[in-house]
Amino acid sequence: MADLGSEVRTLLVELLRNKGDTATFSDDESLIFSGRLQSIDVVELLVQLETHFGIDFSEHGFDQSQLDSVRDILQLIAELRA
């Protein structure tokens, strides 16, 4: 099984690719506040994270800034799994 970072990165790459965005990004690079992901993309990302990692955001809540980069998402997953 791939490591968690690779799994999150794969989800984001696929989401961006579906939008026609094939540019690379680092684990710390902003994806939401930079404009690469729009609000509808964040909803899709949430659904994918819930499905893939078994997280229920309706129970835990979140702030958009917690989904802005690979590193932010990994930190959020770690917090919610603790």
Per-residue 3-state assignment (H helix, E strand, C coil) for 6-73: HHHHHHHHHHHHHCCCCCCCCCCCCCCCCCCCCHHHHHHHHHHHHHHHCCCHHHHCCCHHHHCCHHHH
pLDDT at 49: 93
Domain of 76 in residue numbering reads as: 4-81
d(CA 72, CA 68): 6
pLDDT at 1: 39
* Residues 62, 53 contacting (CB under 8 angstroms): no
82 confidence band (pLDDT: 50, 70, 90): confident
Q: Is the pTM of this model over 0.85?
A: yes
CATH of the domain at 70: 1.10.1200.10
d(CA 56, CA 32): 21
pLDDT at 24: 95
Q: For residue range 5-57, what is the model confidence (pLDDT) as tens digits?
A: 999 999 999 999 999 999 999 999 999 999 999 999 999 999 999 999 888 88
d(CA 62, CA 69): 14
| Stretch 50-77: mean pLDDT | 90
